[in-house]
Copies of this chain bind each other. A is one copy, B any other.
Amino acid sequence: MPAPASPSPAPADFPATTASELIAAHGGRVTRTRVAVIEALQSAAHPLSHDEVGVALTDAGIAHDRVTLYRALEWLVDKGIAQRIAASERAWRFEIRRGGEHRHAHFHCDRCGQVLCLEDVPSDSRPALPAGFELDRSELVLHGACADCGRRGVKMEAP
């Protein structure tokens, strides 16, 4: 039997809270970039795109390379510290995995492109699958217009 399709070889729920502790607990080197990325994700109100993380690093005065940022995010996902969301468009978005690890749904505004966490809406449906299929996780993404765009009649983006 093959390995399960879990992205995280290490346990995801650590007592550690600070960025440095999180990194060290997973056997990684504590670098400026990683610390800043984690802090950016932790303090963000919604899942961030790679580009938004980059802006956050720049704002924090942390010089960084585009590729390094991709690799830092990839490492975080690999270790189960963060997770990717394919809400829409071509760009991934990233968010920190909280302790309880309750997967929630996301809302994608088709007008402004922003993504919000719907903490109250679970995303854990586990329906019966055809024989031989292994279920790892489920992602529920709701689409529509957010409150801001709904009010202001912002131009519609491709669905």
Contact = CB atoms under 8 A, between A and B. Distances in A.
Interface of A: 2-3, 5, 7, 74, 77, 83-84, 86-91, 105, 107, 110-111, 118, 120-121, 125, 127, 129-154, 156, 158-159
A144 B83 CA distance: 15
A144 B136 contact: yes
Contacts of A91: 90
Contacts of A147: 130-133
Interface centre among A87, A111, A150 (most CB of B within 10 A): A150
A150 B86 contact: no
Given A5-B110, A86-B87, A127-B121, A143 B132 contact: no
B121 A156 contact: no
B5 A156 contact: yes
Contacts of A135: 142-144
A137 B105 CA distance: 13
Contact of A145 (B136, B140, B148, B154): B136
Given A74-B158, A105-B127, A136-B143, 12 more contacts: A2-B154, A5-B156, A5-B159, A83-B159, A86-B87, A90-B90, A120-B127, A127-B142, A129-B142, A132-B150, A134-B150, A135-B143
Nearest to A8: B159
A143 B125 CA distance: 11
Contact of A137 (B2, B143, B151): B143
Nearest to A7: B159
